[in-house]
Structure 1
Amino acid sequence: MDKKVKFTAGRNIAMKIPPHQYDATVQFYREVLGLREISEHAPAVGFHFGANNLWLDRVAGLSQAETWLEVITDDIEAASAHLEAAGVVRCDEIEPLPQGMQAFWISSPAAIIHLVCKDSASWS
């Protein structure tokens, strides 16, 4: 009997922002909304966003902001096979991951990027 793959929502949300909107976006979360900043991962800019972490990334070449989500799984290999069988588009070339990180990138049908990973503790 095959083990059912388990997925849960991760606590990290990444907003990819074009350079021409980046400073104003950081100011919005920092000064207008007054969210508590995450400072221990500088130079990365992040904010506590309820139970989640909101990371703001400046990305050259974008024309508009994108939101990326994190999904946690208990078995990265089974998750990969399950998603492939379901026809989910894998897009590992979207952004390099740290060496040894058990994770990969996928796109939802609505073109929302998701990081599927075994454990978010190494970067959250």
Structure 2
Amino acid sequence: MKIPAHEYEHTVNFYREILGLTEIQPNGPDDTPRFEFGDKVLWLDRMPGLSQAEIWLEVIASDIDSASEHLKQQGCQRRDEIEPLPSGFKAFWISSPCNIIHLVTTPGELIERSADTGIE
């Protein structure tokens, strides 16, 4: 979830203290707070330039090239301009017809990148 800076602390507190979601242990002091959300992970990213929260989703594809081709054949355009991804990161951006952003990636890609760079 992308959260405006002016709502960030209250939003993190909402998930941590009010809803009591289990927080996933951060790797470092500057890591984005993450919470267990059923069988999903809720990421809370502070975004100074936003005026309201945005929901971004992650889609896991076993074969990133096949996923890219399938989405292209269905008329879904890649949106790589949305946010730069690290060099070598096996992922790309798309958006739904109602403009929900999706990161299409491979299983374990975020975990692997985090182990390599310390960034999640």
Percentage of identical aligned residues: 58
Query: 1:61-104 CA distances to partner (integer Å, 9 max, x unpaired)?
Result: 11111111111112111211111121113211212223212110
SS at match of 2:14: helix
User: 1:26, 1:40 → 2: CA distance?
Assistant: 14
Structure 1: 5+ residue runs without aligned partners? 1-14
SS at match of 2:70: helix
State which of 24, 29, 32 in structure 1 corresponds to 2:10. Answer: 24
Q: Give the paired residue count.
A: 110
Task: State the TM-score, normalized to the length of structure 2.
Answer: 0.83
The higher relative CO (CA closer than 8 Å, separation ≥ 6) is in 1
Structure 2: 5+ residue runs without aligned partners? 112-119
Match of 2:19 in 1: 33
CA RMSD, Structure 1 to Structure 2 (Å): 1.6
Structure with more of its chain in strand, by fraction: 1
User: 2:73, 2:37 → 1: CA distance?
Assistant: 34
Task: State the TM-score, normalized to the length of structure 1.
Answer: 0.80
Structure with more of its chain in helix, by fraction: 2
